[in-house]
Amino acid sequence: MSCLWMSLAGLVSAQELESPNGNLEMEFSLLENGTPTYTLTYKDKQVIKESKLGLDLKNDEADLFNSFSQADVETSTFDETWKPVWGEEKEIRNHYNEMAVTLTQEETGRKMIVRFRLFDEGLGFRYEFPQQKELGHFVIEDEKTQFAMSGDHTAFWIPGDYDTQEYDYTESRLSEIRERMASSITANISQTSFSPTGVQTSLMMKSENGLYINLHEAALIDYPAMHLDLDDEKMIFESWLTPDVNGDKAFMIAPTHTPWRTIMVSDDAREILASRMIYNLNDPIAIEDPSWIKPMKYIGVWWEMITGKSSWHYTDDFSAVRLGETDYDSAKPNDTHGATTEHVKEYIDFAAEHGFDGVLVEGWNIGWEDWFGHSKDYVFDFVTPYPDFDLEEVRDYAKSKGVEMIMHHETSSSVRNYERHMDEAYQFMKDNGYNAVKSGYVGDMLPRGENHYSQWLVNHYQYAIEKAADFKIMVNAHEAVRPTGVARTYPNLIGNESARGTEYQAFGGSKPNHVTVLPFTRLQGGPMDYTPGIFEMDISTFSPDNDSHVNSTLANQLALYVTMYSPLQMAADLIENYKRFPDAFQFIKDVALDWDKSIYLEAEPGDYITVARKEKGSENWFIGNVNGETPRTSRINFDFLNKGQKYIATIYSDAKDAHYKTNPQAYEIKKVVVTNKSKLSKLSVPGGGYAISIIPAEK
Amino acid sequence: MSCLWMSLAGLVSAQELESPNGNLEMEFSLLENGTPTYTLTYKDKQVIKESKLGLDLKNDEADLFNSFSQADVETSTFDETWKPVWGEEKEIRNHYNEMAVTLTQEETGRKMIVRFRLFDEGLGFRYEFPQQKELGHFVIEDEKTQFAMSGDHTAFWIPGDYDTQEYDYTESRLSEIRERMASSITANISQTSFSPTGVQTSLMMKSENGLYINLHEAALIDYPAMHLDLDDEKMIFESWLTPDVNGDKAFMIAPTHTPWRTIMVSDDAREILASRMIYNLNDPIAIEDPSWIKPMKYIGVWWEMITGKSSWHYTDDFSAVRLGETDYDSAKPNDTHGATTEHVKEYIDFAAEHGFDGVLVEGWNIGWEDWFGHSKDYVFDFVTPYPDFDLEEVRDYAKSKGVEMIMHHETSSSVRNYERHMDEAYQFMKDNGYNAVKSGYVGDMLPRGENHYSQWLVNHYQYAIEKAADFKIMVNAHEAVRPTGVARTYPNLIGNESARGTEYQAFGGSKPNHVTVLPFTRLQGGPMDYTPGIFEMDISTFSPDNDSHVNSTLANQLALYVTMYSPLQMAADLIENYKRFPDAFQFIKDVALDWDKSIYLEAEPGDYITVARKEKGSENWFIGNVNGETPRTSRINFDFLNKGQKYIATIYSDAKDAHYKTNPQAYEIKKVVVTNKSKLSKLSVPGGGYAISIIPAEK
């Protein structure tokens, strides 16, 4: 393989690079016409066939994808270990070999660097545009980065879309994407697809020769999010950037660079999950003292609105609201408003009783009567509570109970309005003791014509994160662009949605194996506020008009607290449902949020994931197993435990007759003693799983 | 005439209204299909023939322009006198008869009110949408307000454009607009025309039967600016709203209303100039204590950049700037940067010596190297001075001299960026003793795809004004939407450009009669920062590469301080040019900024304007006369002066052989004694005029 390029006609130069362990090898070459290309192999198996690199510029005869000659190559090695503020490990090693290829265009005098970083788990590369007279401002019309696949892989994909990531994954051959696209595009409030073979990153694939390949990006800052468009004859993916309102992709000012394009690869699926390559490609932390950033376990006034049991809005009197003019005080309250002072106090009581850090309240502020669907500009002010929500009283009550309130900022995608109110809204939070905000971007964008993942909006989400950091506020942004490891630099970004979350279990249900895919895809870029912990799968028991079914067993729901890593974990179900299952609820109370170490024990995308994690600063371990559609016996051993130490393992697992559809609440809880010699065989039913807490029995 | 409607077929109802003095009469009727219409007469002459009213809604079968029936008519009379914070008079009478016609659509149940206010000088009307279940959010696709002209009038028009108002006026028959459109559209940095018969308001016309008619709008708030598109066969103008990026016009939420559509009419052109109807149609002042709002006379580091003598930018090193990253400290300064500490101190010295209130400095802050033309987002931060401008030193020096510094915020139309920095920028101003800001919106808009006069931007300009009021900051916004009397409500809007200002005299020149049109058009909505006072008409004398000529005599330049009313008046020329003409400069030093009374003595659009104004709180008077292309002898008397009082009149006038092109600096200054019996005959040459200061000779 390493000689293949020698036989290619027209090759005028070539550069090789190996990963630190030698398993990965990449080559950079220029075609005869000066187009840059690269290839990637893993243990001598082809991962990326010859693939072109470059960019189309707007209104510019001299594009940046051919006529290059190679001016310089610099190689180097980097090896550091850094400590994340929160994460799956207390330390992360960042080890790669780097090759920076400086390219020049003789005609234009322009210079571009392609920088490759080859890790043991994969390759990252980006385009860099140094300061130069010949290239100041430029507009990217298209990024033409190719990822040429070596075969018709099996892929776990969601439809490419400029406005939503909230799709179920389709598992298919690459060649089947086209025929399965239409059925994969399910309805959403705001959605814009662009190609019958367009898919989103992070894209997870399996090759016939046993490779697990993942395509994504890292450090997406002030650039449009990248999709992938497949040439399904040649099996070549090409980058497809989210356009702005005029169809332009990115406005650039040199010196600058693109985000990293990433290719992770292994013959062991667990290594994909264990990789921290995406984080490593991001800049180190930019917050000097991050001591105020803390993982949180929380409950909230949310699932009751999602399921239709109660409402965000306060009154049915108004067909439209003009903030500051509409008179709420004389409006007739409806009977369904969730965020009332009394009701929130019940949540605070429950949180205090069961050791939760926080309580989220949605629908607390005026404006929800016409909150989306109207392209409304001044939709919320983020500081004015409804008449039946006494913010001061709630604040003081929560404080007296040792519980933190979590703020909610639904923007309805009116981002100018959000930016206008952001300072005041953040200050209002701090003045009232709120340290974390869940923000939302439901509906079509304002500025109108922009999309959720265009440069304009990527810039906005980052602005919101950085400004929040100034106020020492943690951000959990929903419907924002999928994360790409930016939380390394700004760890106050403690969560994102940016995928199909638990809410869809109340909107018709998600595929039962959804949670066996997400860690391979969406979670590569950062944690997800997936909001697990649903105990009542038949929603109609408490919300009669909603016949949606949660496609998961109760044990699977517990396992998610371990398998879906996040420093922010919600117990999403209603208090009344937790009260019915206090023994199972105990796991949610016990499970840790932050970790010293994570060991992926078993993993196969779409089928199962089993992970063991050691609680940060403690000897407690927690294990989670989630299972797809096929019943399966998980077989693990406990050799990661301390030698000679006895532990009490509490195993929350599916009952034998459990099934996500027909018998989801059938679970068993067993307490056993385990040591590092112990082994476990455990059946996980369809849509099932298990969760284990492991506590040292004695010193 | 008042019986004409009786003969119209299909008329199902009609309502009449008279102006307080009975000169104007209007009628409202519904056509048989339920379309509202109106007519207007002045002293029994037809001003507006039967014209339709209504709106097209987007995605809505039930539009708001037919199928109406009349549910109610309310008439009333209003008469108040209010005191403006600054203005041409110390008191303004607001006197009108009002008719509010409530219309309902049976099919939809929708309700709309057309409210007419008939003043002695004209008619204002608007559409109102009361709170109702049947109409909450709606999108205006087109406003279909007609203004049916009674003949092929002579019009003073500029091309309709979504992005600029900076055109010379074309004087032509309405029927000639189409053929003269192309030559009337001169180049501009940002411009978007839309129709070969599309023109802007305020539109000034003269009818063959001796009427002066003006079409404009008042109280443009959160709605797109209105243009007029002419059906040049039927001579019917129809409203043409500035669209947003998707072609939509306005996003509305009931209860709400449109701006007022205004038709001023008189058989005496002076009455158009004397009318305060536009202000009267705006809401009363919204600022509780406006004592901090003060007229200002100022000089500034500006004309030298406009003419090319010096530069806004500091260095020629950079083809592009990244604020916060580009290293200015190690950049090589060019030799042309205007805003240096030393140079600004010269301006401060001159201002102090000659009694100016303020000094404006442009190009003081980093970023000007690539300030427009690149659709740049983060173009300025509004707080970081160039290395050669010591803001603190300048601030302290100005303070020690009793001179106020005027801030400059060029936004380059990157309005998101401006809004992001606005709080900090305004606070920075206050921290450094700046109480007034000149803001600019050069170049194409960001958000991209929006235009300068779309609803999004109209909303922004208003946001900037209201936020400035919170900081007690006065605003002079250039390239913003033309004013529509909003300064009654927010008198901290002390100026706008929004027309072709003096700068064009350095960009090739303006028509010599331009200033005889502007008071009839642009100034109807509010004051203009026209920046008069140019003494050196041959710009090449100090900026050798610029061969532009200022098409005005020096005496005309002096007259502008009186004829172009503004509470903000610049002496725009270079200090060196003022030093050459100290006797003429004396008028600029003497002339008042705020007035008790204004008397329009002579007026004909395109030909001449002569106005006398009494200084506020003083017995001093100032007179200005500006003349168009034709030499003319102005004949005025001084009967407005106090009986029996002797005054010293200093007359600054064109020399006999003066001419705007060939001999612009030929002026004469004479001092004479005048009383209220005095008369004056004075020749004004082409592009000429005269200015007079009248000071009581004794008590």
Closest residue in B to A323 (Cα–Cα)? B253
Q: Nearest C-alpha of chain A: how many angstroms from B65?
A: 22
Whether B164 is in a domain gets the answer no
pLDDT at A123 over 80: yes
Assigned token pair, B250: 């306005």
Cβ–Cβ contact B374 with A under 8 A: yes
pLDDT at A392 over 50: yes
Taking the CA atoms of chain B, what radius of gyration do you get in angstroms?
Answer: 25
Q: Where are the alpha helices (DSSP H) in A214-302?
A: 269-274, 277-280
Residue A698's pLDDT band (cuts 50, 70, 90): confident
| Whether the Cβ atoms of residue B395 and residue B431 lie closer than 8 Å to each other | no
Cβ–Cβ contact B254 with A under 8 A: yes
Q: Where are the alpha helices (DSSP H) in A449-568?
A: 455-470, 514-517, 554-563
Domain boundary among A223, A252, A280: A280
Report helix, strand and coil shares of chain A as percent, to nearest 5: 20, 35, 45
* Residue A444 shares a structural domain with residue A574: yes
- The partner residue sitting opposite B376, judged by closest CB among A244, A253, A321, is A253
Number of inter-chain CB pairs under 8 A, A vs B: 94
Give percent of chain A above pLDDT 90. 97
Phi–psi pair at B7, nearest 5 degrees: -90, -5
Phi–psi pair at B358, nearest 5 degrees: -145, 165
* Residue B219 shares a structural domain with residue B365: no
A291-324 per-residue burial string, b: 16 or more CB within 10 A, e: under 16: eebbbbbbbbbbbbbbbbbbbbbbbebbbbbbbe
Cis peptide before A255 (omega within 30 of 0): yes
Contact B133 A319 (CB under 8 A): yes
Domain boundary among B280, B314, B339: B280
Q: Which residues of A touch B449 (CB under 8 A)?
A: 245-246, 447, 449
Cβ–Cβ contact B545 with A under 8 A: no
Range of the domain at B220: 6-147+205-280
What pLDDT sits at residue B67? 94
Residue A24's pLDDT band (cuts 50, 70, 90): very high
Cβ–Cβ contact B108 with A under 8 A: no
Residue B567 and residue B530: Cα distance in Å, rounded? 11
Residue A697 and residue A642: Cα distance in Å, rounded? 12
* Residue A276 shares a structural domain with residue A305: no
Contact A137 B376 (CB under 8 A): yes
B9-38 per-residue burial string, b: 16 or more CB within 10 A, e: under 16: eebeeebebebeeebbbbbbbbbeebbbbb
* Residue A228 shares a structural domain with residue A325: no
Residue A569 and residue A613: Cα distance in Å, rounded? 15
Q: Which residues of B touch A447 (CB under 8 A)?
A: 245, 447, 449-450, 456
Residue A424 and residue A467: Cα distance in Å, rounded? 12
A230-287 per-position pLDDT tens digit:
999 999 999 999 999 999 999 999 999 999 999 999 999 999 999 999 999 999 999 9
Of the candidates B190, B139, B143, B180, the one whose C-alpha atom is nearest the C-alpha of residue B158 is B180
Residue B146 and residue B51: Cα distance in Å, rounded? 5
What pLDDT sits at residue B4? 35
User: Mutate which of B58, B137, B376, B460 to test chain A, going by most A C-beta atoms within 10 A?
Assistant: B137
In chain A, what's the furthest Cα-to-Cα distance?
81
Q: Nearest C-alpha of chain B: how many angstroms from A544?
A: 28
Q: What is the value of pTM for the model shown?
A: 0.96
**Number of domains making up chain B:** 2
Contact B447 A321 (CB under 8 A): no
User: ipTM score of the complex?
Assistant: 0.95
Whether A653 is in a domain gets the answer no
* Residue B219 shares a structural domain with residue B348: no
* Residue A273 shares a structural domain with residue A354: no
Residue B531 and residue B360: Cα distance in Å, rounded? 12
The SS3 of residue A269 is helix
Contact A320 B253 (CB under 8 A): yes
What pLDDT sits at residue A578? 98
If you average pLDDT over residues A58-75, what whole number do you get? 91
Whether A679 is in a domain gets the answer no
Whether A440 is in a domain gets the answer yes
Of the candidates B509, B375, B502, B384, the one whose C-alpha atom is nearest the C-alpha of residue B442 is B375
Whether A82 is in a domain gets the answer yes
Contact A459 B246 (CB under 8 A): no
Q: Which residues of B touch A110 (CB under 8 A)?
A: none
If you average pLDDT over residues A581-608, what whole number do you get? 98
Which residue in A25, A50, A497, A503 is the catalytic one?
A: A503
User: Mutate which of B129, B134, B319, B422 to test chain A, going by most A C-beta atoms within 10 A?
Assistant: B319
* Residue A259 shares a structural domain with residue A344: no
Residue A4's pLDDT band (cuts 50, 70, 90): very low
Assigned token pair, A297: 């376990």
pLDDT at A400 over 50: yes
A295-313 per-position pLDDT tens digit:
999 999 999 999 999 999 9
In A309-453, DSSP assigns E strands to 358-361, 404-410, 436-440
The SS3 of residue B264 is strand
What pLDDT sits at residue A140? 98
Residue A482 and residue A493: Cα distance in Å, rounded? 12
Whether A13 is in a domain gets the answer yes
Domain at A232, CATH number: 2.70.98.10
**Beta strands A68-82 and A92-105: pairing type?**
antiparallel
* Residue A551 shares a structural domain with residue A435: yes
Specify whether B503 is catalytic. Answer: yes
Contact B456 A447 (CB under 8 A): yes
- The partner residue sitting opposite B320, judged by closest CB among A137, A321, A450, is A137
- The partner residue sitting opposite B319, judged by closest CB among A133, A321, A325, is A133
∠ CA B463-B464-B470, nearest 5°, is 90
Contact A322 B253 (CB under 8 A): yes
Domain at B385, CATH number: 3.20.20.70
* Residue B387 shares a structural domain with residue B427: yes
Domain boundary among A280, A312, A328: A280
What pLDDT sits at residue A13? 66
* Residue B222 shares a structural domain with residue B327: no
Which residues, numbered 314 to 353 in chain A, qualify as contacts with chain B under a Cβ-Cβ cut-off of 8 Å? 318-322, 325
Angle between helices B415-431 and A415-431 in degrees, nearest 10 = 40
Residue A104 and residue A134: Cα distance in Å, rounded? 11
Closest residue in B to A455 (Cα–Cα)? B377
Q: H or E stretch including B413?
A: none
Report helix, strand and coil shares of chain B as percent, to nearest 5: 20, 35, 45
Residue B276 and residue B395: Cα distance in Å, rounded? 38
Angle between helices A554-563 and A582-590 in degrees, nearest 10 = 0
How high is the mean pLDDT of chain A?
96
Which residues, numbered 230 to 249 in chain B, qualify as contacts with chain A under a Cβ-Cβ cut-off of 8 Å? 244-246, 248
Whether B315 is in a domain gets the answer yes
Contact B420 A419 (CB under 8 A): yes
Residue A80 and residue A103: Cα distance in Å, rounded? 28
* Residue A586 shares a structural domain with residue A447: yes
Cβ–Cβ contact A370 with B under 8 A: yes
C-alpha torsion A179→A180→A185→A191, nearest 10: -50
Contact B448 A246 (CB under 8 A): yes
Cβ–Cβ contact B133 with A under 8 A: yes
Contact A255 B322 (CB under 8 A): yes
Closest residue in A to B256 (Cα–Cα)? A322
B572-602 per-position pLDDT tens digit:
999 999 999 999 999 999 999 999 999 999 9
Whether A455 is in a domain gets the answer yes
What pLDDT sits at residue A319? 86
Q: Which residues of B touch A256 (CB under 8 A)?
A: 322
Q: Nearest C-alpha of chain A: how many angstroms from B244?
A: 8
Cβ–Cβ contact A459 with B under 8 A: yes
- Per DSSP, the residues of B435-449 read -EEEEE--SS-BSTT
Parts of chain B with a pLDDT under 70: 1-13, 699
Q: Which residues of B touch A416 (CB under 8 A)?
A: 416, 419, 456
More confident residue, A133 or B362: B362
* Residue B271 shares a structural domain with residue B320: no
